[in-house]
């Protein structure tokens, strides 16, 4: 039998319900497990601790499927886990005017390495671990049966797969080829999504609640939407009655999609401007010009990819927030985010606080923000809380 024996005292994380075992915690491996093979984990004194997927190429050597010694990891096991995830989404009562949301959120749903997002009548999946890859066909079959969706597209074209000894890949798994741009609905708004080439699986579904929060604070506001991607926050601001939204992106194709999304929602061209530029440089230019805004959104890409660039990432977050504070009118509002898992909320709040101090202004936190409920956070797995945000009001 394939088995992992842990070093003495290294079982604590498993006993605290964290599903990862790192290579340094392993005393020895019995048998000859292949990538994705299900293996048992035992303590140094032979106590059964769990059963998970083996990944010889990764520092995370094993991702736990179950701690129940009587539970077999097979097709029925995955069916139960997927059904539980579907039941959770149904309990959230996602509005009928929203047909795009996360169906399975990997470790947070007890399915390490599997992401499944629904976009209308398409599922877009990522298989990010050796275990998820080994069970790909079974997972796909269960998803089809339990959701009734027969169009499944893979977006495993991410570098994290290389850490698992897997090559990035993407393409049709079953059903139809998705259109170049797929129309979805979110809280009554319509968006065109490129699920074949766009960021993540095509759209930042985790920001749904935060886009709605921006909408509620946008009446008569002059809005600056930074790192705009395809304009989600900007379109939500226009829905909330914003006077004008300036969207900044550094790719021309995204600027084109922002304009398409504005037209799709019947917003006039003069109410929404897309600018292709480097956000840091353009904000410095606006500062020199004396431009001011009523509401600014900062939703940058992940600055901190690893511990080695954490300090540099922190400087980047501080710099961009400092510029934003200087560009806000008194009484204006900043919605600022970090999707870097290594930047914890306490650290992010300190970075933003340091930025407002250096701006020589004063502000107050109105709301702590995070990922939408279809991206649940498992209490025992802090890594599942990756999106942090603050709604900050300028006092003076």
Last residue of a domain, one of 157, 174, 191: 174
Q: Is 194 a domain residue? A: no
**CA neighbor of 336 nearest in space, from 394, 387, 297:** 297
Is residue 126 a contact partner of residue 115, using CB atoms and an 8 Å limit? Answer: yes
Q: What is the 3-state secondary structure (H, E, C) of 86-149?
A: HHHHHHCCCCCCCCEEEEEEHHHHCCCCEEEEEECCEEEEEECCHHHHHCHHHHHHHHHHHHCC
- Helix H or strand E encompassing 53: strand 48-54
Domain count of the chain?
3
Q: What does each C-alpha distance from 319 to 217, 223, 352 come to in angstroms?
A: 24, 19, 9
pLDDT at 302 over 90: no
pLDDT digits (tens, 9 = 90+) for 174-227: 999 999 999 999 999 999 999 999 999 999 999 999 999 999 999 999 999 999
Same domain, yes or no, for 222 and 287? yes
Same domain, yes or no, for 297 and 376? yes
Q: Is 182 a domain residue? A: no
Across the strands, what pairs with 334? 296, 392
pLDDT at 268 over 90: no
Q: Is 221 a domain residue? A: yes
Residues 6+ apart with CB under 8 A from 253: none
Same domain, yes or no, for 246 and 318? yes
Same domain, yes or no, for 115 and 212? no
Q: Is 187 a domain residue? A: no
Task: Please tell me the predicted confidence (pLDDT) of residue 249.
Answer: 95
Same domain, yes or no, for 236 and 339? yes
The CA distance from 18 to 15, in Å, is: 7
pLDDT digits (tens, 9 = 90+) for 105-162: 999 999 999 999 999 999 999 999 999 999 999 999 999 999 999 999 999 999 999 9
Task: Please tell me the predicted confidence (pLDDT) of residue 335.
Answer: 98
The CA distance from 333 to 338, in Å, is: 17
CATH number of 26's domain: 2.30.130.10
Which of the following is catalytic: 169, 272, 339, 396? 339
Q: Which of 9-13, 49-53, 388-392 has the lowest mean pLDDT?
A: 9-13
CA 348-354-359 angle, to 5 degrees, is 130
Is residue 255 a contact partner of residue 275, using CB atoms and an 8 Å limit? Answer: yes
Residue 78 CB neighbour total at 10 angstroms:
20
Domain membership of residue 34 as a residue range: 3-66
Q: Is 196 a domain residue? A: no
Is residue 218 a contact partner of residue 237, using CB atoms and an 8 Å limit? Answer: yes
Would residue 339 show up in a list of annotated catalytic residues for this protein? yes
Q: Secondary structure of the chain: what % helix, strand, coil (to 5)?
A: 35, 30, 35
Q: Is 28 a domain residue? A: yes
CATH number of 84's domain: 3.30.750.80
Same domain, yes or no, for 233 and 381? yes
Phi/psi of residue 163, each to 5°?
-65, -20
Across the strands, what pairs with 393? 333, 364
Q: Is 275 exposed, middle or buried (0-12, 13-18, 19+ CB in 10 A)?
A: middle
Q: Is 185 a domain residue? A: no
The CA distance from 82 to 61, in Å, is: 24
The CA distance from 131 to 65, in Å, is: 9
Task: Please tell me the predicted confidence (pLDDT) of residue 373.
Answer: 96
Is residue 244 a contact partner of residue 223, using CB atoms and an 8 Å limit? Answer: yes
């Amino acid at each position: 039998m394939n088995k992992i024996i842990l070093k003495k005292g290294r079982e604590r994380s498993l006993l605290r319900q964290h599903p990862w075992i790192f290579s340094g915690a392993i005393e020895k491996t019995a048998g000859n497990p292949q990538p994705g093979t299900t293996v048992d984990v035992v303590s140094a004194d032979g106590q059964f601790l769990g059963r998970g997927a083996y990944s010889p190429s990764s520092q995370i050597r094993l991702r736990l499927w179950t701690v129940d010694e009587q539970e077999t990891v097979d097709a029925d096991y995955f069916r139960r886990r997927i059904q539980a995830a579907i039941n959770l989404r149904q309990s959230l009562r996602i509005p009928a005017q929203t047909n795009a949301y996360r169906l399975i959120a990997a470790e947070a749903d007890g399915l390490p390495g599997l992401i499944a997002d629904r976009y209308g009548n398409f599922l877009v999946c990522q298989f990010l671990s050796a275990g998820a890859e080994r069970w790909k066909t079974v997972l796909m079959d269960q998803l089809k049966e339990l959701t009734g969706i027969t169009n499944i597209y893979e977006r495993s074209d991410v570098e994290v797969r290389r850490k698992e000894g897997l090559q990035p890949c993407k393409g049709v798994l079953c059903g139809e080829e998705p259109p170049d741009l797929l129309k979805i609905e979110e809280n009554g708004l319509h968006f065109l999504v490129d699920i074949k080439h766009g960021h993540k699986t095509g759209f930042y579904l985790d920001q749904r609640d935060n886009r709605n929060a921006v909408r509620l604070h946008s009446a008569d506001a002059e809005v600056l939407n930074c790192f705009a991607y395809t304009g989600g926050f900007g379109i939500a601001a226009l829905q909330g009655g914003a006077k004008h939204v300036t969207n900044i992106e550094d790719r021309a194709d995204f600027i084109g999609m922002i304009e398409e999304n504005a037209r799709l929602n019947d917003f006039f061209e003069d109410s929404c401007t897309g600018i292709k530029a480097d956000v840091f440089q353009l904000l410095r230019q606006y500062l020199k010009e004396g431009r001011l805004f009523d509401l600014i959104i900062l939703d940058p890409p992940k600055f901190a990819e690893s511990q080695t660039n954490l300090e540099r990432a922190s400087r980047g977050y501080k710099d961009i927030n400092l510029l934003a504070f200087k560009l806000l009118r008194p009484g204006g509002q900043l919605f600022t985010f970090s999707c870097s898992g290594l930047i914890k909320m306490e650290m992010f709040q300190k970075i933003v606080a340091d930025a407002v101090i250096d701006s020589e202004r004063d502000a107050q936190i109105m709301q702590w923000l995070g990922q939408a409920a279809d991206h649940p956070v498992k209490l025992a797995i802090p890594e599942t809380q990756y999106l942090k945000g603050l709604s900050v009001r300028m006092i003076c």
